[in-house]
Amino acid sequence: MERKRLKKIMDNNDLDMYDLGIYGLNTHSKNAVPLGLKIITKYLPEHDTETADDTVYSVNTDELLEAGVTEDDAVTLSDLNWKMDEDTNCITHSV
């Protein structure tokens, strides 16, 4: 997948077919962070995750793309309110 496509997916908040996510949970679920990390770990099993203020900073966006993240998994991450942070070049989640 190209970076531009991932950005479009991560910025889209109106993904009707994924209203409840593939896990049957809403996007504000307390499980959104661990479920997102579980998806990321499929592609990058040994990644660092940091937190600052109310944000979880996960993997480098380019590394996730190079690891072959699928469009379906990107949509699910977006559905769980994970975002692509342009400033840090990381996949993030605000809690």
User: Residue 47 sits in which domain range?
Assistant: 3-94
Q: Provide the pLDDT confidence category of residue 23 given band limits of 50, 70 and 90.
A: very low
Q: What's the total number of domains in the chain?
A: 1
pLDDT tens digits, 34-87: 999 999 999 999 988 888 988 999 999 999 999 999 999 999 999 888 999 999
Distance CA 26, CA 58 (A): 21
- The CA-based angle 67-27-51, given to 5 degrees, is 60
